[in-house]
Amino acid sequence: MNDAFKALADPTRRKILQLLKDKSMSAGDIAEHFQISKPSMSHHLSILKQAGLVLDERQGQNIIYTLHTTVVADVIGWMFSIVQSDVPVEKHSNDIKKMEESE
């Protein structure tokens, strides 16, 4: 969980997650939305991957990044548990997963 919050602390990484919310993308496609160097983009993607917020899969010469919705749901569930301390984190995670499945 600490790695996830560290990853979310950076606005560039939050924007990457926003982009991946809509569709999986290659590192090159993601980089087109930013004015930063390729090594910096690689660093941001590495932090998101280490935190478990994104998954990566090699497709030919490209690496395709996908939002790892299960981990994101767990983080959101934990945050909701602070606001509503009488509801367990697992309940929020399950509610979020149900919403994702219905979309």
For residues 55 and 37, membership in a common domain is answered with yes
pLDDT in tens, 40-89: 999 999 999 999 999 999 999 999 999 988 877 778 788 778 777 665 55
Number of domains in the chain: 2
46-56 in b/e form (b: 16+ CB < 10 A) is: ebbbebbbbbb
**Residue 103 confidence (pLDDT):** 44
9 and 44 in a single domain? The answer is: yes
Q: Are residues 62 and 76 in the same domain?
A: no
84 and 96 inside one domain: yes
pLDDT in the model for residue 20: 96
56 and 97 inside one domain: no
Q: Are residues 20 and 45 in the same domain?
A: yes
Whole-model pTM? 0.72
Percent of the chain residues topping a pLDDT of 70: 82
Residues 6 or more apart whose CB falls under 8 angstroms from that of 32 comprise: none
- CATH number of the domain residue 23 falls in: 1.10.10.10
Residue 38 CA to residue 54 CA, distance in Å, equals 18
Q: What is the mean pLDDT of the chain?
A: 84
Name 36's Cβ contacts closer than 8 Å, sequence gap at least 6. Answer: 12, 44
Cβ proximity of 16 and 42 under 8 Å:
no
Both 35 and 76 in one domain: the answer is no
6 shares its domain with 43: yes
Domain that holds residue 51: 2-67
